[in-house]
Structure 1
Amino acid sequence: MSDSKHRHHHHHSEEHRREVSNRLARAIGHLQKVKQMVDDDEDCSDVLIQLAAVKSAINNTGKVILKDHMEHCIVHAVEDGDTEMIDELNAAIDKFMK
């Protein structure tokens, strides 16, 4: 999360919020499965494969959020001459890509 107090001037669609929420719920479910596998002392290779699925789910969710942000938030920011939001996006991408 950003330390900035910057606010959006629009709202995300219910469909977008639902898609992101569903993706996060699936990632949480995968991660709970990985934890159970560790607790059950399952094979390390199988745990790593499932953990890779969690990473992929999180990364894909980030891509969905980023795409929506660029298509809506950044478009509005450019229209409004709001360079602060572009700076915030760059900072968020840097953190997401680490």
Structure 2
Amino acid sequence: MRAEAKPKIINRLNRIEGQVRGIVRMVEDDRYCVDVLAQIQAVRAALARVESEVLKDHLDHCVMGAMTGDDLADRKTKASELIELLGRASR
């Protein structure tokens, strides 16, 4: 991961962690189920945005570096990793 992307990702993950702790408190306080579900959906959306940012960074940095480099084995490895990752994401 690029050094400039890391603080942004960590900040987002810390906020998501706080959201999850808030959901725990909501459940402990017997809050209305629809409200809890709305917060769970918000966390899922936030995680999807983080996932997208990490994937973009990976493509821009790791994959692009391998594809423009001279190491054929590295290119094949990065392509295989990407195919596997996208396959897991579609399940």
Gaps in structure 1 of 5+ consecutive residues: 1-11
Offset of 1:72 from its aligned partner? 1.2
Where in structure 2 are the equivalents of 1:31-42 lying within 5 Å?
A: 31-42=20-31
Between Structure 1 and Structure 2, which shows a larger proportion of helix residues? 2
Q: Percent identity?
A: 31
Partner of 1:70: 59
The 8 Å contact of residues 2 and 61 in structure 2, kept in 1 or not, is answered as: no
Equivalenced residues, count: 87
Q: Normalization by structure 1: what TM-score?
A: 0.81
Does the residue aligned with 2:4 lie in a helix, a strand or coil? helix
User: Aligned partners of 2:48, 2:57: CA distance in 1, in Å?
Assistant: 14
Match of 1:88 among 75, 81, 91: 81
1:85 CA drift (Å): 1.0
Q: In 2, Cα distance between the equivalents of 1:13 and 1:65?
A: 10
Q: Which amino acid aligns with 2:29?
A: D
Q: Which runs of 5+ in 2 are unaligned?
A: none
TM-score (norm 2): 0.86
